[in-house]
Amino acid sequence: MTGRAPVVVAGLLLVILIAAAMPSAGIIIGTVIIDGQVTDSDGAPLEGARVVVVGWEEYNATTDENGSYIMVAPFLEVGHTLKFTHPGLVPRDISTGPLEPDDWVTINATLSEAPPRATLRIVLLPWNPLGSNYGLRQDEITVINASGTPSFEWSDTESEANVNVPAPGSYQVIGTRPGYFPAKVTIDVVRGDRIDVDVDFTGLKKPTYGVVNGTVEHRTVPLANVTVVAEPEEGELTRSYQAVTDSDGHFSMDLPKGNYSIRVQLEGYSKLSQGLDVDVGKDYELYFPMSVAQETAGGTSSYVGLLVAAVIVTVLAVIVVMALRTQRRSAAAEAEKAARKDELRCPSCDALAPKDTDSCAECGTAFPWKSFRCPDCGAVMELDATRCPECGNQTFDLHRG
């Protein structure tokens, strides 16, 4: 094998250089020399083939234009496994067999062209989780070409399958499962690939409800502890759902598909409601601007009614009090008038005049019941007077009767 002579010489020189650098290690003890040639299925030498000692990847070599290689490997009594690879060809593993110290072995390899296909081992996860009722033949796997490949599509109702696809190319693997959204994985393959593809449904379970979020405020101020009730308006739904707003005035509730009347209520505020058609898997945002004593379709709020009633009661009370005061004043005036009928008063100054006195204590006028008036000038005179002190009239006897 004349083509091997330069390679063998180069290998020996390499061994000598290693021994010179590590004189204590020696040339024979602790190492072996491995050489050989790599060819294709037609026997033609392969340049650029890679040879690696499995488990000792730092020991490797690359074939020259003659397909030849040589390397120094650690001594291992049971021998080594060599992996031969070349682009576009099927990799191959070959054992050296048991080795002897200072051994020199020749390992040749023939690499064949990889088939124009790749094998995908597809598994849909999770499979048969605790408490599941998936059963068999409910999952479906579909493989279609994504780009750069001939038209290809394969499908089967399984949770695990091996699929041969044309290579090289890009493929999309789609898994479907009842109650889940489809799980998709895109993968690129080359000739001869054998690839495990895990298609995971985790986090893809379809929701069975819609999510209703909302905010309750009064003049932009969030209202906490507001009860929010969702009442089904029609259909098979019969139960109602409730939520309570947090410190930010927010609430959230999960509702099955259906039509609802969403209402909010808080003592001291008017009741508000909104109609909502809820669909599965959708989110909704509601806003409720609350107000005090707000007029709704049902009429005036209770607080307005209470205020009006309070005003009416107050007005009636004022009227009654004023009527009682007027009545008391009238009664007092009547009593005073009746009392004045029995009183004796001075005919000159109207001062009270006790019956047992002859003249007014204020102005000194003689009282009528103790005196009489002059028929000419009207002056008051004593009953026994014979002449008017004012006008001098003396004809009293004619008028006294």
Determine the pLDDT at residue 116. 87
The verdict on 83 and 107 lying in the same domain is yes
Nearest to 273 by CA among 238, 233, 221, 220: 233
Q: Is residue 97 assigned to a domain?
A: yes
The verdict on 106 and 34 lying in the same domain is yes
Position 114 pLDDT exceeds 70: yes
Position 72 pLDDT exceeds 90: yes
Pair 69, 83: CB distance under 8 Å: no
Of 70, 87, 111, the residue that ends a domain is 111
The verdict on 19 and 50 lying in the same domain is yes
The one-character DSSP state at 369 is G
Of 248, 267, 289, the residue that ends a domain is 289
Determine the pLDDT at residue 58. 95
The band of 208, judged by pLDDT with boundaries at 50, 70 and 90, is confident
Position 281 pLDDT exceeds 60: yes
Pair 167, 191: CB distance under 8 Å: yes
Q: How far apart are CA 352 and CA 354, in angstroms?
A: 6
Q: Is residue 64 assigned to a domain?
A: yes
Q: Is residue 267 assigned to a domain?
A: yes
Determine the pLDDT at residue 40. 93
The verdict on 187 and 86 lying in the same domain is no
The verdict on 231 and 149 lying in the same domain is no
The verdict on 367 and 284 lying in the same domain is no
Give the 3-state secondary structure of residue 273. strand
The verdict on 337 and 349 lying in the same domain is no
Parent domain of 336: 301-342
CATH of the domain at 39: 2.60.40.1120
3-state helix, strand, coil in the chain (%, to 5): 15, 40, 45
Q: Give strand ranges (E) for 179-255.
A: 183-189, 194-200, 210-218, 221-222, 227-232, 241-244, 250-255
Decide: residue 61, CB within 10 A, 0-12 exposed, 13-18 middle, 19+ buried: buried
Nearest to 52 by CA among 16, 10, 90, 80: 80
Q: What digits encode the pLDDT tens for the residues 19-71?
A: 444 433 333 358 999 999 999 999 999 999 999 999 999 999 999 999 999 99
The verdict on 216 and 188 lying in the same domain is no
Query: For the chain, how many structural domains are there in total?
Result: 5
Determine the pLDDT at residue 16. 46
Of 154, 182, 200, the residue that ends a domain is 200
The verdict on 140 and 184 lying in the same domain is yes
Q: Is residue 191 assigned to a domain?
A: yes
Q: Is residue 294 assigned to a domain?
A: no
Q: Is residue 205 assigned to a domain?
A: no
Predicted TM-score of the model (pTM): 0.43
Q: How far apart are CA 9 and CA 354, in angstroms?
A: 170
Q: Is residue 196 assigned to a domain?
A: yes
The band of 364, judged by pLDDT with boundaries at 50, 70 and 90, is confident
The verdict on 260 and 218 lying in the same domain is yes
What type of residue sits at position 310? A
CATH of the domain at 154: 2.60.40.2580
- Residue 22, CA distances (Å) to 17, 70, 163, 281 in order: 9, 20, 53, 71
Q: How far apart are CA 20 and CA 13, in angstroms?
A: 10
Q: What digits encode the pLDDT tens for the residues 244-280?
A: 999 999 999 999 988 999 999 888 888 889 999 999 9
- Among 90-99, 265-274, 288-297, name the most confident range: 90-99
The verdict on 367 and 382 lying in the same domain is yes
The band of 4, judged by pLDDT with boundaries at 50, 70 and 90, is low
The verdict on 234 and 322 lying in the same domain is no
